[in-house]
Chain A
Amino acid sequence: MSTQANRRNWGARLVLLLPYLWLLVFFLVPFVIVLKISLSQTALALPPYVPVFDFAAGWAGLVEFTVQLSADSFRLLSSDAIYLLSYLKSLQIAAISTIFLLAIGYPIAYGMARAPRAWQPPLVMAVVLPFWTSFLIRIYAWINILQRDGLLNDVLTRLHVIDAPAAWLSSDTAIYIGIVYSYLPFMVLPLYAALEKMDETLLEAAADLGCPRWKTFWLVTLPLSLPGVAAGTLLCFIPIVGEFVIPDLLGGSETMMIGQTLWTEFFSNRDWPVASAIAVSLLGLLLVPILFYERLQQRSLEGGR
């Protein structure tokens, strides 16, 4: 028995170690580094921050390192209104987009789940296909449509809905359109997965007990699809908060979303500590929803076993 177990353990350990080590090195460690840099000071150097942790400096180096840590970046974040507004705007846009996504995605997912069996795989493929064609391309496609001399204005003026071309681009509206468009598959697919798994006979039972169709939906279908709703909501809300590309290409220059702020601090201002501080605080902000999402995944894992 012990030889069996030993042999199995060895192979098992290898299967686990490979991805585990990879993730530790390339996922966890980087986060620690971000934290460390958020506590550093900007400098005109390469890399553009002090203190730089020198492994070779040994214990003395560690002490000096700790002494030089500063919470300056964090103080900046809490004092300057720009950052606060950026956070708030991101949360606002994320929340509203998620609501839109839910409102638009649910009927689509529901319609897909009710389609004849044979049609469902092609439907799923149809929903997923745009997702596999470049994200950037699709946002870019919207620029085509929304720009001043773009298609939307063209159609609207021809239909006499408006007199002069309106500025659709560089606005919050454009951001909402872009976000809803890009994240729709992320909302539809988890919803569809949850709805598709539902037992038909439950609906039949409800009808048999005298429930009209709309009520059955409200009392049976909706509650049972809640795990899918939760998954879709979190899968959209969390990344949207940190979105960069969409507000950058489609949005205006008034208030930036927090993703843009981070990007600007890093690339334009070359202020790595502040950028890191933004990343850390963003992560802290999102920690609760992220943990929620992890819990959901754990539960689905357990359910399967």
Chain B
Amino acid sequence: MADGGEAAQNNAANEKPPLVRFEAVTKRFGSVAAIEALSLDIAHDEFFALLGPSGCGKTTLLRMLAGFETPTEGRILLDGEDIDAVQPHRRPVNMMFQSYALFPHLTVEGNIGFGLRQENVTRAEISERVTEMLALVRLQGFGRRRIDQLSGGQRQRVALARSLIKRPRVLLLDEPLAALDKKLRAETQFELMELQRRLGTTFVIVTHDQEEAMIVADRIAVMNHGRLMQVATPSEIYERPNSRWVADFIGEVTVVEGHISAGGAMDSALGKLSVAGTSGAKSGDTVWLALRPEKIGMSSERPAGELNKVPGTISEIGYRGDISIYKVRLADRSLMKVALANVSVRGNALFKAGDLVWLSWPPDAGVVLDS
């Protein structure tokens, strides 16, 4: 469940009043609503991620903060003040563009110092701060280079330096790592985290890559179709998704449908399952159990103990190097996903396709969802 109680939940993250507050913001393009009555708080000194599939409205939200779009309804507050009347060039917010948008007719120095030249800063100070920035992004000595002489990773760092030099209250990053290859992306993610910690500036990043959001962010806002699905820390979102959609969007999951029975257990096609909490659902209500693949154990013999157990046949194995995802077909023809680390050195799998296995999990391994 989104909105409503989210505002209170958001504020729990930080005692101070929020740095950025979206108040019931709606954005319509013609008759299409890109954002629907969205309320969100972003705190000081926070690395915040906007995550969601294409078209969910995350970039629109970012651009509204930058000032390139204006809300159709609702307000946006920065440090308690309504910034709607403030034009983009006057906002203490800077953005790092997805395409970097580096000025081709200026050198690296020219690009980085551009923001300062719009203020009344002396040449000497500009030069000093540009050098400082170059050192920060590890591009010392590159000042005189032209943009078309730089590699993709170098351009990205120039774009970062350019957007940080004015010491903005909020730094917006629009899918900044999309154009980089996997290894470079991983390195840059850690660099960004470190930068944020060092500067204490609030970073707001837009990404469609959930792994990236989980790694860098202090809190993530998961969006779909212009609405907030869940706003929480990465571990909360992963371990305690608030809906099937979020559970399915982040990582792998198996969802089992059933009803709450009289004793607080769950009746399903797989039998009676004991669960660790019904999250407010009452007896007779339809619920869903979300199980993460790494929480499920797999064995060739029927395990003993108080665990939930179901038999099945291995249908498919997805080998990923560090782990393998096993798709197991259960008695009711449904598939359950199990993840096992590939501990065996010589790649001799303990299980093969077609094996009969028992899957088991403790009552608190899954999350009961009511939507």
Contact = CB atoms under 8 A, between A and B. Distances in A.
Asked if the two chains touch in their complex, CB atoms less than 8 Å apart, one says yes
A294 B135 CA distance: 55
Measured as residues with beta carbon below 8 angstroms from the partner, the interface class of chain A is under 10
A1 B70 CA distance: 9
B370 interface: no
Contacts of B85: 1, 3-4
A3 B84 CA distance: 12
A121 to B, nearest CB: 17
A interface SS class = helix
B140 interface: no
B14 interface: no
Interface string A2-26: 0110000000000000000000000
Nearest to B70: A1
Nearest to B84: A1
Contacts of A3: 85
Contacts of A1: 70, 84-85
B87 interface: yes
A4 B88 CA distance: 11
Contacts of B84: 1
Contacts of B87: 4
A1 B87 CA distance: 9
B321 to A, nearest CB: 32
The contact size tier of chain B is under 10
Contacts of A4: 85, 87
A1 B82 CA distance: 12
Interface string B55-95: 00000000000000010000000000000110100000000
Nearest to B87: A4
B138 to A, nearest CB: 34
A224 B85 CA distance: 46
Nearest to B86: A4
Interface in B223-266: none
A302 to B, nearest CB: 16
A4 to B, nearest CB: 6
Nearest to A2: B85
B72 to A, nearest CB: 12
B148 to A, nearest CB: 16
B301 to A, nearest CB: 53
A3 B87 CA distance: 11
A1 B83 CA distance: 10
Nearest to A7: B87
A4 B70 CA distance: 12
A173 B126 CA distance: 70
A143 B70 CA distance: 65
Interface string B191-212: 0000000000000000000000
Nearest to A8: B87
A200 to B, nearest CB: 22
Nearest to A4: B87
A9 B258 CA distance: 60
Interface in B122-136: none
Interface in A1-60: 1, 3-4
Nearest to A3: B85
B152 to A, nearest CB: 21
Interface string B107-150: 00000000000000000000000000000000000000000000
Interface string A190-224: 00000000000000000000000000000000000
A73 B229 CA distance: 76
B67 to A, nearest CB: 10
B230 to A, nearest CB: 32
Contacts of B70: 1
A4 B83 CA distance: 13
B282 to A, nearest CB: 48
A165 B85 CA distance: 81
A3 B70 CA distance: 15
Interface string A110-127: 000000000000000000
A72 B85 CA distance: 64
A224 to B, nearest CB: 27
A208 to B, nearest CB: 27
A4 B84 CA distance: 11
B216 to A, nearest CB: 34
Interface string B21-52: 00000000000000000000000000000000
A294 to B, nearest CB: 26
Interface string A70-81: 000000000000
A46 B62 CA distance: 69
A4 B67 CA distance: 12
A1 B84 CA distance: 7
B176 to A, nearest CB: 27
Interface in B144-168: none
B53 to A, nearest CB: 26
A3 B85 CA distance: 9
A249 to B, nearest CB: 46
A181 B350 CA distance: 80
A4 B87 CA distance: 8
A75 to B, nearest CB: 53
B89 to A, nearest CB: 11
A4 B90 CA distance: 12
In the A-B complex, list the 5 residue pairs whose CB atoms are closest, starting with the nearest.
A1-B85, A4-B87, A1-B84, A1-B70, A4-B85
5 contacts: A1-B70, A1-B85, A3-B85, A4-B85, A4-B87
Interface of B: 70, 84-85, 87
Interface of A: 1, 3-4
